[in-house]
Structure 1
């Protein structure tokens, strides 16, 4: 086997001598290796990558046996193995990547880890019994990525952590530490810091504001944090801040500024590059800064679940156009949208779900693709929707206070309209034959979720089960605009994804699609002739679904002046 360079084994056992059989091997991956330790004669001197994931290995070498030096080894992957202790790392002088993820029996890291002068990436994720990191880890001057998330027994981070000045990414989420070391200020190259879910973390050291290269800061779920460092706005490089589910009540105070202070230091675009701000689930948050929209690089603002938030700052007409693409203010206390929201010309997604105090929407940005306002039970007024030429999804489910929706017939990009839970009077008024004729001319299928207490007379053919056949009139092609497929859930089960197909029995053409539908929910699908066409002489259409618990109703859409 002198020419063997790469060997992959899985769930196999090898017996006999290993001496000189792998002398030129460069890469060995052995999943579920059965050995408790490596054989003493296992010594592929040219090995560069050694991967032993999910192995039975407790220790790399048998006690009292001389360990080998792997001069060329650069990657060691022992993830999800039964390791109880790590090897003498001086035997791996060239190691660059060390992966011990999921080693749940591992209780300590050998002090010799500090000798790995070339180590770039160290992963200890999910080492649940690991109580401390050796101080020598701070000697890893080439280390760029340190992953210690979900090490739930870890009592503290090394005091001299800041000595790893090459570090660019630190994932320390899901720990139970009380504080961060002040030396963190020396991590001048740190780009990403993830502290998510450290529920016992009492504060962030003010020295964190010295991280001038920091672009991503995730402190979401640090539920014990009620303030943020006073100078956090001075991190000019910060692009993404996840501060969901914190205990802050006033974002101004939490940043250390009073309402009377000049917030330009924090919010002017030349001084902050924030693109993503997540403050969802901050249930005590009542106020957002007046100059919020001065974050002129902001693309995503997620304030969903900030239940005490009752107002957003207005947008001035002179405001520099924001690149804001997604705005989520679901489950807030808002009674109206901010004045001037129409100026958010880049906004694609607006989420307002369960804003139960929202009374009216006066204006909307013109380039929206998605509006979800599910459960806005107090909403009574919408603007005319005719300017929303790019709108693909409009979700107004359970907006029981709505009495009219103007401009639906001009939503030429619409694909999904959700009206479940709306007034049956409103639905009957909206879903007319004329609307279906207009929608069938848009050239794509449209799904409308709506209550169907009474089926219009012109939609006449009905069946219960997973298959039905529909006879076509003898002359149909000239006036035919499309089909209406209605699916009414009979409540036999909780509902699930349903696949369906429509087949022209004459031409054998089949169109397939799918939908999700809940118990006692109804769906109308408009299928235009551009997708499913018929010709004179075509006599029958066959509709088949994968859900027998549906009532299926089929109708045809014809030109307005047709005799059909």
Structure 2
């Protein structure tokens, strides 16, 4: 309605409208220089139309905006100029030009009201020279402006809150004046791969919450006083040449997320460094790995990523991270973890994938929910917790052949028993399977509330011997005796042997009873496996009790595994109703033979 009112005033003269938003009208006004002081806003996004995106608005004159003295909003994309701009309104509040074609802002650009400056994917090489005053400017976004060489003097931009320079691949240095931006909260330099200079003093960044330097391949140091950025919540220095972080990092009392992924002290290789490494090989592996900063002061840290850092050992003070929930140690060179790791009382996810030298896992924290130990090819032993408090819900031991050699299929029983001891009836609330399906995302079960099912993945080519009902197809139907749903039933266990040639990763599990069905979903990552693997899945008794239909008088259960387009390649499939007597029997007898690997 508002648009029509604007158009009615001067139906055939869009240059006299207050707002322009239709491509054809904007094209006419800009190319024929028909703009007037009446225009306050121009918004066009040609990226949503393929034909317009390809041709854009070509041949714009330098005077196209000359008469638009009251223009406050300019949001355009893929607009090309045949000459330099001669004028932009000093009333502009928002200036957004995706693909801005010039090397810099026009010399005539003197607006004191500018609030946002967004020029993603632009051809700009520098914003302005010297010091300019933009007292109201809060956002500068030049992301993916691949020709940007340097940043301007920020002294005249005291209220800047967001500075996004992601993907500015020619950027080599950041002007030291950035350190005086006391209101800056977000500073992104991700993938500025030629950045080699960063301000050595950031004492003024008192409001900074997010600093992202990920992918700055040539950056080899952080400011010594990084700890003075007292409001910092996220620090990402992944894939940089940094191999030592200042000890002042312990002053960051609000730090929530720290990523040092890929910080192994190696600069990007050139032909010169390649030949030099051949002539003078480094024989000391410890000289190249990340030198760990102290961790004891990071009391608010929840996520820590130390993957791909060539670490030979993990410092013992990692146990002081009392708020840590997610720890990623993938692809490092240590052979064990420090005993203090069991002090991480809030740790939920531990990743040690592809730690090829890891031989022993010590006692892990009681609250841990997911352990990813895929491709730990030297892993032989796991220290079970002294107390029955482990809440493992997902255990991935892909290609951990030595572990299976050490424990046989008793490993599955051991871990399942630990889980059942704290997830037994009455121990905690459970989710109702009738409410919604279980969802397994990225090798971790995801449900909205309650307990997760127990899931374990390890090498093996046979269904465990204690599974009574087995099949060579992805379907099993068994009869249920009277009173099968009694107080001794702990749940239903499933086992499946996957064919390693099967690349399907989304499996649906169906349980059909007389009067209804339960469903679940499992997403299996496309990891490279060297032989067949067994998946164990366990549903608790309470999850059956809370079904939305009458289940206790069922006479059969028909279990099926499905994929989106047909039947999965399953070598064998098993189902077992697990009662308390089974666990007691496991304690008294060595029931199982080790699976054939």
Q: Is TM > 0.5 for Structure 1 vs Structure 2?
A: yes
Question: Where do 1:257-268 residues align within 5 Å?
Answer: none
Q: Say if 1:386 and 1:408, in contact at 8 Å, map to a contact too.
A: no
- Give, in whole Å, the separation in 1 of the partners of 2:418 and 2:184: 54
Question: Where do 1:322-333 residues align within 5 Å?
Answer: 322-333=322-333
Q: CA RMSD in A?
A: 4.6
Question: Where do 1:508-523 residues align within 5 Å?
Answer: 508-516=516-524, 520-523=532-535
Q: 1:82 to 1:501 in 2, by over 3 A?
A: farther
User: Helix, strand or coil for the counterpart of 1:411?
Assistant: helix
Instruction: State the Cα distance separating 1:151 from its structure 2 match.
Output: 1.6
- Give, in whole Å, the separation in 2 of the partners of 1:413 and 1:44: 74
Instruction: State the Cα distance separating 1:376 from its structure 2 match.
Output: 5.5
- Give, in whole Å, the separation in 2 of the partners of 1:110 and 1:158: 12
Q: 1:498 to 1:173 in 2, by over 3 A?
A: same
- Give, in whole Å, the separation in 2 of the partners of 1:362 and 1:134: 52
Q: Say if 2:336 and 2:358, in contact at 8 Å, map to a contact too.
A: yes
Who is 1:373 aligned against? 373
Who is 1:310 aligned against? 313
Structure 2 gap ranges (5+) = 8-17, 267-284, 424-449, 583-597
Who is 2:87 aligned against? 67
Q: Pick from 497, 502, 517: which aligns with 2:511?
A: 502
User: For 1:234-274, what per-residue CA distance to the aligned partner results, in whole angstroms no more than 9, with x for missing partners?
Assistant: 8566736544444569xxxxxxxxxxxxxxxxxxxxxxxxx
Who is 1:276 aligned against? none
Instruction: State the Cα distance separating 1:195 from its structure 2 match.
Output: 3.1
Who is 1:284 aligned against? 288
Q: TM-score, normalised by structure 1?
A: 0.69
Instruction: State the Cα distance separating 1:545 from its structure 2 match.
Output: 1.0
Q: Say if 1:283 and 1:306, in contact at 8 Å, map to a contact too.
A: no
Q: 1:407 to 1:6 in 2, by over 3 A?
A: same
- Is 1:222 matched with 2:266? no
Q: 1:457 to 1:22 in 2, by over 3 A?
A: farther
Q: Pick from 293, 296, 321: which aligns with 2:296?
A: 293
- Is 1:31 matched with 2:31? no
Q: Say if 2:480 and 2:557, in contact at 8 Å, map to a contact too.
A: no
Q: Pick from 107, 110, 124: which aligns with 2:142?
A: 124
Q: Say if 2:492 and 2:576, in contact at 8 Å, map to a contact too.
A: yes
Who is 1:462 aligned against? 471
- Give, in whole Å, the separation in 2 of the partners of 1:387 and 1:84: 65
- Give, in whole Å, the separation in 2 of the partners of 1:413 and 1:283: 46
Question: Where do 1:167-246 residues align within 5 Å?
Answer: 167-175=184-192, 176-181=194-199, 190-201=208-219, 203-204=221-222, 206=224, 216-223=234-241, 225-228=242-245, 232-233=248-249, 239=255, 242-246=259-263
Who is 1:420 aligned against? none
Who is 2:393 aligned against? 392
- Give, in whole Å, the separation in 2 of the partners of 1:52 and 1:191: 30
Instruction: State the Cα distance separating 1:496 from its structure 2 match.
Output: 1.9
Q: Say if 2:258 and 2:305, in contact at 8 Å, map to a contact too.
A: no
Who is 1:156 aligned against? 173
Q: Say if 1:248 and 1:282, in contact at 8 Å, map to a contact too.
A: no
- Give, in whole Å, the separation in 1 of the partners of 2:578 and 2:313: 48
Q: Say if 1:89 and 1:113, in contact at 8 Å, map to a contact too.
A: no
Q: 1:385 to 1:395 in 2, by over 3 A?
A: farther
User: For 1:13-71, what per-residue CA distance to the aligned partner results, in whole angstroms no more than 9, with x for missing partners?
Assistant: 75478858994755634434632337847966655432113x2x123xx6488635252
Q: TM-score, normalised by structure 2?
A: 0.66
Q: 1:22 to 1:142 in 2, by over 3 A?
A: same
Who is 2:575 aligned against? 555
Higher relative contact order at CA 8 Å, sep ≥6: structure 1 or structure 2?
2
- Give, in whole Å, the separation in 1 of the partners of 2:175 and 2:68: 35
- Give, in whole Å, the separation in 2 of the partners of 1:555 and 1:183: 63
Q: 1:449 to 1:10 in 2, by over 3 A?
A: farther
Who is 1:261 aligned against? none
User: Helix, strand or coil for the counterpart of 1:58?
Assistant: strand
- Give, in whole Å, the separation in 2 of the partners of 1:100 and 1:181: 24
Instruction: State the Cα distance separating 1:96 from its structure 2 match.
Output: 0.9
Instruction: State the Cα distance separating 1:101 from its structure 2 match.
Output: 1.0
Q: Say if 1:88 and 1:112, in contact at 8 Å, map to a contact too.
A: no
User: Helix, strand or coil for the counterpart of 2:109?
Assistant: helix
Between 340-349 and 526-535, report the one with greater CA deviation: 526-535
Between Structure 1 and Structure 2, which shows a larger proportion of helix residues?
Answer: 2
Q: 1:352 to 1:130 in 2, by over 3 A?
A: closer
User: For 1:486-536, what per-residue CA distance to the aligned partner results, in whole angstroms no more than 9, with x for missing partners?
Assistant: 4333344333222343334x4253534334276733334344564367455
Who is 2:416 aligned against? 408
- Give, in whole Å, the separation in 2 of the partners of 1:209 and 1:458: 57
Q: Say if 1:286 and 1:309, in contact at 8 Å, map to a contact too.
A: no
Instruction: State the Cα distance separating 1:75 from its structure 2 match.
Output: 0.9
